[in-house]
Amino acid sequence: MCLGIPGKVQKLYDQDGTPMAAVDFDGVQQAVCVATTPEVQVGQYVLVHAGFALNILSDYEAEETLKILRDLADFNANLPEEDLRQ
């Protein structure tokens, strides 16, 4: 199973002919290839998997997805230790 994570584009740049972006993932910035989303603009959200932007998300889509991921993390953090081993 693959999981794409929304991140916000902070900066666009070219790296040896490849369009790249500095993307913020909840305070952590990573380099992401944006060749498949050439129309992306600074301030937009992209869905990222394995260092590649798969598509551009609306602010609403990104925020809803991030909320679900945070809720899932909170739920898992509150599970008893024995439930995590199953």
Q: Which domains does the chain have, with CATH numbers?
A: 5-84 (2.30.30.140)
What is the rounded distance in angstroms from the CA atom of residue 39 to the CA atom of residue 29?
Answer: 20
pTM of the full structure: 0.84
Determine the pLDDT at residue 48. 97
Do 13 and 20 contact (CB within 8 A), yes or no?
A: yes
Instruction: Report the residue count for the chain.
Output: 86
Per-residue pLDDT of the chain (86 residues; tens, 9 = 90+): 678 999 999 999 999 999 999 999 989 999 999 999 999 999 999 999 999 999 999 999 999 999 998 888 888 788 777 655 55
- The C-alpha torsion from 56 through 60 and 64 to 66, rounded to 10°, is 50
